[in-house]
A and B are shown apart, each in its own frame.
Chain A
Amino acid sequence: MLAPASLPLESLPVRRPATITTIAWDRLAAPEARRLREFGFEVGVHVEILHRAALFRGPVACRIGRMTVALRRNVAAAITVMAD
């Protein structure tokens, strides 16, 4: 088996639990960054992609803790994760 590598949350396969390793806050607009923090996104937190609106790269549904959050792809691309 390959060693787990970092990858953007955007590319994480569906239903594969992962841990956030970095968040490129500077790539996010201020209100987006604030809301993301309020939802509890930070380094070390476990996340998982549940669904993807595949058509024309629509948003992703991401599980964090006990909740599901819809994120746009550009936001998901700013979050790097390591598959657990």
Chain B
Amino acid sequence: MSILPLVALVGNPNAGKSALFNALTGARQKVGNYPGVTVERHSGRLALDDGRPIELVDLPGTYSLDPSSPDEQVTRDVLFGKQAGERRPDALIVVVDAANLDLHLRFALQLIALGLPVVIALNMVDLAERDGLTLSPEALSRELGVPVIPTVAVRKRGLDVLRAALTAAVEGSATRAPRDPSAADQPIAALQRRARELSKAATLSETPTRRWNHALDTVALHPVAGPILLVALMFVMFQAVFSWSEAPIGWIEGGFAALDEAIRGALPDNLLRSMLTDGLIAGVGAVVVFLPQILILFTFILVLEASGYMVRAAFLMDRMMAGVGLSGRAFIPLLSSFACAVPGIMATRTISDEKDRLTTILIAPLMTCSARLPVYTIIIGAFIPNTAVAPGVGLQGLVLLGLYIAGILGAFVAALVLRRTVTKGDSSGFMMEMPKYQMPRLSDIAIGLWSRALIFLKRAGTIIAATTVVLWLLLSFPQAPEGESQVNYSVAGRIASGIEVVVAPIGFNRDISLALIPAMAAREVAVAAIGTVYAIDDVENAAGEKSIIDNLQHRWSLPTALAFLMWFVFAPQCISTIAITRRETNGWKWPLFMVGYLFAAAYIMAGITYWLAVAAGL
């Protein structure tokens, strides 16, 4: 295998590096309108004009070569070839935001001084135009001594010219600025002044435009309206998860019911048929029906990320976060954890203070991830009446919102305690660039949803299906004699009755005991497990959400259901969360601590819920 020339995309955060990477390589790296989206190196391939392939790497954005957080360290290591087993890049594409040259050119100057062949992508020229700026790439190129190519990464504009310039740079035929170590060592203020001069020289004209960015912020950051808007957004999000998903859930259920019917018609009543219907369809089907809800949740998160509102939310939350010893910055990884704790924990790499970051990692699993949605929904569906509290405000959505809030409050309390005990230390403060608002692009959202849907279905088809089949096996053998309950007689039933001893005090029954352990593989499996249990136990009804809900209503008391919900607010992180925590904290100490404290919290909180509910006569 021949070694391909290596080209790195570098620049300040939110300059559009990942968007450019995607446009050049056809990859689908995550882009988002806030600083700190990319926290790892990603590589891809691209063919130059002469057909020669090169390796392109997308890097986390950074403000200088002096890293102040783990993600920025990644960029520095790649630039200096320090990443284990990595070579130094042969050339750089320095991505600068045309609408904020003062800042971005200063870092560009530092990068040019490294002496590698450089091509500057003057990105976001559309936004600069929107701001009334007319720039001269030629003037800039003359001053800097390197090619400057105007681009609009998201509309794939300027890519051909960029590729041509890159070809020249890689071949070494392009002009290359002399290596100037002194520039890298110059005080930042001097470089900053030089950048301001350059920016002025490159700006041909500037016409004042309407400042609708400011107008939007006047509302979004308003001392009173701002927080109300934030809460309202969250509220609409959880209402939508319920009210918009009914119809599509119905279609998916119909599909699985038809499949179930078809298999029952085609196969004689044997073990294979039972495994397919009671195991796979009852289990996997019970999870897949939640795809619409998960996609609705993701649509909201993706729109928030693409619009630039994320940093505003962090701004509004900073005061509260400071109160528990964290920074507003931590709010962004925490909000991403609503989707899944794994990317959320990865995103903590943008937090500079180590203790601050560790605390955020430890509380991230308390943010209700989308995998818990099926568990919440099915219990809410069975026990909370679908009534309207006010026009357009459903009780079920309200309870769901309450569960999310319970998680958030739990996280705040946990942070408060952790910061005073095991993760004591200074706060890293809150200093963040606030990006300009952008209209979310439909295609970006669609790609984001598509990749989430694939991930979800893949999980359903692999880990969830496998766990369900194993559970079905453990539930079906040994076969119970006539008159005995198959579930109780089975291996799984016997294991569950062991667990039940421990969890009975907090109101958990046999079904919950059965679901707890497989739910560690993936939380949705709790629902799959319950689906399988009832499919085996309740031979009269066809498997499906309706049967699960019917069975739940008959077999569970309301206090038990509430305790189960509370358990899931706190409890068992899935295996992947534990694995990523181990990787990001370099050892087993913190993941074990996390599992321990969350299990304890779950047990206590579920217990309190159960005892209170029983005392209240529910």
A residues with CB within 8 A of B: 29, 31-32, 34-40, 42, 50-59, 61, 65-72, 74-75
A21 to chain B, nearest CB (A): 15
Contacts of B188 in A (CB 8 A): 37-38
Q: Return 24 A-B CB contacts under 8 Å, by A number.
A: A31-B428, A32-B429, A35-B63, A35-B68, A37-B188, A37-B189, A39-B63, A42-B189, A51-B221, A53-B223, A53-B226, A53-B318, A55-B227, A58-B315, A61-B434, A65-B196, A66-B101, A67-B100, A67-B103, A69-B434, A70-B314, A70-B431, A70-B432, A75-B429
Structural contact, A59 and B315, CB atoms closer than 8 A:
yes
Assuming A37-B189, A53-B316, is B429 touching A31 (CB within 8 A)? yes
Given contacts A61-B217, A75-B429, 19 further A-B pairs with CB under 8 A are A29-B429, A31-B428, A34-B68, A35-B63, A35-B431, A42-B192, A50-B214, A51-B217, A52-B223, A57-B319, A58-B316, A58-B318, A69-B433, A69-B434, A70-B315, A70-B328, A70-B430, A70-B433, A70-B434
Q: Which of B63, B64, B218, B315 contacts A53 (CB 8 A)?
A: B315
Q: How far is the CA of A72 from the CA of B429 in the complex (A)?
A: 7
Assuming A37-B188, A42-B192, A55-B319, is B431 touching A69 (CB within 8 A)? yes
Q: How far is the CA of A54 from the CA of B225 in the complex (A)?
A: 11
Q: How many residues of B contact A (CB 8 A)?
A: 41
B148 to chain A, nearest CB (A): 18
* B400-433 Cβ-contact flags toward A at 8 Å (1 or 0): 0000000000000000000000000010111111
B102 proximal to A (CB < 8 A): yes
Contacts of A35 in B (CB 8 A): 63, 68, 431
Q: How far is the CA of A35 from the CA of B221 in the complex (A)?
A: 23
B66 proximal to A (CB < 8 A): yes
Contacts of B196 in A (CB 8 A): 65
**Closest residue on chain B to residue A14 by CB atoms:** B218
* B343-370 Cβ-contact flags toward A at 8 Å (1 or 0): 0000000001100000000000000000
Structural contact, A31 and B100, CB atoms closer than 8 A:
no
B311 proximal to A (CB < 8 A): yes
Sorted from nearest, which 10 A-B pairs have the closest CB atoms? A54-B223, A58-B319, A65-B102, A51-B221, A38-B63, A68-B434, A66-B100, A70-B432, A42-B189, A32-B429
B414 to chain A, nearest CB (A): 21
Q: How far is the CA of A75 from the CA of B430 in the complex (A)?
A: 9
Contacts of A37 in B (CB 8 A): 188-189
Q: How far is the CA of A54 from the CA of B222 in the complex (A)?
A: 8
B212 to chain A, nearest CB (A): 14
A55 to chain B, nearest CB (A): 5
Assuming A53-B318, A57-B319, A67-B103, is B433 touching A39 (CB within 8 A)? yes
A34 to chain B, nearest CB (A): 6
Assuming A31-B352, A34-B68, is B103 touching A65 (CB within 8 A)? yes
Assuming A32-B429, A52-B223, is B319 touching A65 (CB within 8 A)? no
**Closest residue on chain B to residue A51 by CB atoms:** B221
B106 proximal to A (CB < 8 A): yes
Contacts of A38 in B (CB 8 A): 63-64, 188
Contacts of A66 in B (CB 8 A): 99-103, 131
Structural contact, A72 and B433, CB atoms closer than 8 A:
no
A38 to chain B, nearest CB (A): 4
**Closest residue on chain B to residue A55 by CB atoms:** B223
Contacts of A58 in B (CB 8 A): 315-316, 318-319
Q: How far is the CA of A19 from the CA of B162 in the complex (A)?
A: 39
Q: How far is the CA of A23 from the CA of B319 in the complex (A)?
A: 23
Number of A-B residue pairs, CB cutoff 8 Å, is 105
Structural contact, B103 and A59, CB atoms closer than 8 A:
no
B residues with CB within 8 A of A: 63-64, 66, 68, 99-103, 106, 131, 188-189, 192, 196, 214, 217-218, 221-223, 226-227, 311, 314-316, 318-319, 322, 328, 352-353, 426, 428-434
Q: How far is the CA of A66 from the CA of B435 in the complex (A)?
A: 11
Contacts of A56 in B (CB 8 A): 319
Contacts of A36 in B (CB 8 A): 431
A64 to chain B, nearest CB (A): 8
Contacts of A65 in B (CB 8 A): 100, 102-103, 196
B206 to chain A, nearest CB (A): 10
Among B218, B318, B328, B432, residue most surrounded by chain A Cβ atoms (within 10 Å): B432
B346 to chain A, nearest CB (A): 21
Contacts of A51 in B (CB 8 A): 217-218, 221-222
Structural contact, A61 and B315, CB atoms closer than 8 A:
yes
Q: Which of B221, B227, B431 contacts A71 (CB 8 A)?
A: B431
Assuming A65-B100, A66-B99, is B352 touching A72 (CB within 8 A)? no
B462 to chain A, nearest CB (A): 42
Q: Which of B99, B319, B428 contacts A59 (CB 8 A)?
A: B319
Q: How far is the CA of A75 from the CA of B316 in the complex (A)?
A: 17
Q: Which of B103, B311, B428 contacts A70 (CB 8 A)?
A: B311
Contacts of A54 in B (CB 8 A): 223
Contacts of A70 in B (CB 8 A): 311, 314-315, 318, 328, 430-434
B201 to chain A, nearest CB (A): 15
Q: How far is the CA of A50 from the CA of B211 in the complex (A)?
A: 12
Among A35, A37, A57, A69, residue most surrounded by chain B Cβ atoms (within 10 Å): A35
B591 to chain A, nearest CB (A): 27
Q: How far is the CA of A55 from the CA of B316 in the complex (A)?
A: 9
Contacts of B328 in A (CB 8 A): 59, 70
Contacts of A39 in B (CB 8 A): 63, 103, 431, 433
